[in-house]
């Protein structure tokens, strides 16, 4: 009975777990110029880079 009460208390106090799926799509075409590109460095997050291009610039 005590265990059931503790489980119920846990369900009330803890935030719900996120069970959504992650969908990834890989592209083999490296020549596409995207408006936003992110280059992440997992070893040094401070060295990560975000490039935001002007959509009016076609070059």
Torsion of CA 57, 25, 45, 39, to 10 degrees: -30
Residue 7 tokens, joined:
């489980």
- What is the tally of structural domains in the chain? 1
Per-residue model confidence (pLDDT) at position 59: 57
pTM greater than 0.75: no
Q: For residue range 27-59, what is the model confidence (pLDDT) as tens digits?
A: 777 677 778 889 999 999 999 999 998 877 765
Which residues form the domain of 16? 3-52
Is 41 part of any domain? yes
Is 18 part of any domain? yes
Residue 36 tokens, joined:
């936003």
């Amino acid at each position: 009975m005590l265990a059931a009460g503790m489980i119920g208390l846990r369900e009330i106090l803890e935030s719900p777990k996120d069970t959504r799926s992650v969908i990834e799509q890989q592209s083999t075409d490296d020549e596409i110029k995207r408006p936003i590109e992110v280059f992440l460095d997992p070893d040094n997050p401070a060295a990560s880079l975000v490039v935001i291009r002007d959509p009016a610039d076609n070059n």
